[in-house]
Amino acid sequence: MPKFVLDAHRLIGPHPFDDLPEDPRPDLDRLGIDQALVTHTLSLYTDPQAGNDALLRIDDPRLIPVPVVVPGFCESSGVMVRLCPERHRFDLTGPVALRTVAALGVPVAVDLEESSPGQLLRLAGEVPKLLVLNPGYRRLRAVAELMAEAPNVWLEIGTVNTQRGVEWLAGQFGARRLVFGTGAPVMDDCGPRFLLDHLDLPQDDIELIASGGDLL
């Protein structure tokens, strides 16, 4: 098992569509996850500013805030920020969004389902690092093309649940550009944790993926 595990994609707070746990810490303990980058559900589903305010009131070193930015409306910052262009109805590569993220100067996380490799390539040119969330396994070659073109793109592996998919990515781009994440509690966290523990990679590579490498 890895010595230190960082979940680079986790939610905290109430979920409007299901009865899911609001506090991630019991599940972190259960799965042996030491720390998590967390976004508030209010920021995703209702009021970005209210969710960010609630997120920044959390005082626990295990939970690292990742606020949601809506360019021109809600422009919070942290060690990393998240953009949700489809949910919040803005152009990911529009002039306002690109100016906003360039000014923040921190890594940015975007869900692949809310964007496209072409948009992400354009965005990568304006940010120090770009973390692609939920890539799945059906679009691995498109994601690989993006990673080949933009060396500042990192990939969250929680949904790369195809045989040796993570190993293939590590061979192509190095384990340092892959990070463990779950998307929990909306998405399953046991599967990604099992995947992490059973990667057919050198232990040093597994430790890099588990700890987030040099993403932050």
Global pTM reads 0.96
Residues 6+ apart with CB under 8 A from 178: 154, 155, 157, 166, 169, 170, 208, 209, 213
Helix residue ranges, H only, 46-134: 48-56, 85-88, 95-104, 117-124
Q: Where are the beta strands (DSSP E) in 58-152?
A: 63-65, 68-69, 81-83, 108-111, 130-133
> 74-77 — which CB contacts under 8 Å span 24+ positions?
74/48, 74/49, 75/100, 75/104, 76/49, 76/52, 77/104, 77/106
Kindly report, residue by residue over 129-180, the tens digit of the pLDDT: 999 999 998 989 999 999 999 999 999 999 998 899 999 999 999 999 999 9
Please write the tens of the pLDDT for every residue from 88-136: 999 999 999 999 999 999 999 999 999 999 999 999 999 999 999 999 9
The per-residue pLDDT for range 46-95, each reduced to its tens digit, is 999 999 999 999 999 999 999 999 998 888 888 999 999 999 999 999 99
